[in-house]
């Protein structure tokens, strides 16, 4: 069966510090991968998605970047965090044959 992991679960970082969030998927090959951000009490904002290794599409210009160094690994990064980067970050995967997305447990990021 397929599983998706995200870490860390929670993170408190000062403004101006770097960020690296990791997402890995097990039990599937060549998944589409997604990073979303969810502000408190709000819907999901798609940040990046990837249909293959090294292929990254950015949805919203911002202070973040994403990379896909391996088929089942998706990384969200920032060189210098802003207060507005605080939120709940969710990674998701989808096969190329189905439109259903499967989400990780999320990372709660607080920038202080």
Is 8 an interacting residue with respect to another protein (CB under 8 A)?
Answer: no
The verdict on 105 binding another protein (CB under 8 A) reads yes
Contact indicator for 24, 93 with CB cutoff of 8 Å = no
Task: Say if residues 72 and 25 touch (Cβ distance below 8 Å).
Answer: yes
Which among 19, 24, 30, 18 is positioned nearest to 4, based on CA atoms? 24
The footprint of another protein on this chain (CB under 8 A) covers a number of residues equal to 22
**Which listed residue (51, 58, 62, 73) binds another protein by CB under 8 A?**
51
Where on the chain is the footprint of another protein (CB under 8 A)? 32, 36, 42-44, 46, 49, 51, 59, 88, 90, 92, 94, 99-106, 108
């Amino acid at each position: 069966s397929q599983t998706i992991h995200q870490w860390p679960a929670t993170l408190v970082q000062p403004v101006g510090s770097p960020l690296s969030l990791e997402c890995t998927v097990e039990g599937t090959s060549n998944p589409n991968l997604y990073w979303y951000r969810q502000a408190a009490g709000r819907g999901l904002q798609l940040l990046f998605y990837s249909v293959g290794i090294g292929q990254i599409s950015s949805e919203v210009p911002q202070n973040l970047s994403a990379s896909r160094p391996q088929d089942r690994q998706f990384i969200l990064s920032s060189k210098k965090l802003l207060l507005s980067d605080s939120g709940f970050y969710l990674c998701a995967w989808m096969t190329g044959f189905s439109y259903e997305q499967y989400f990780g447990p999320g990372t709660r990021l607080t920038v202080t």
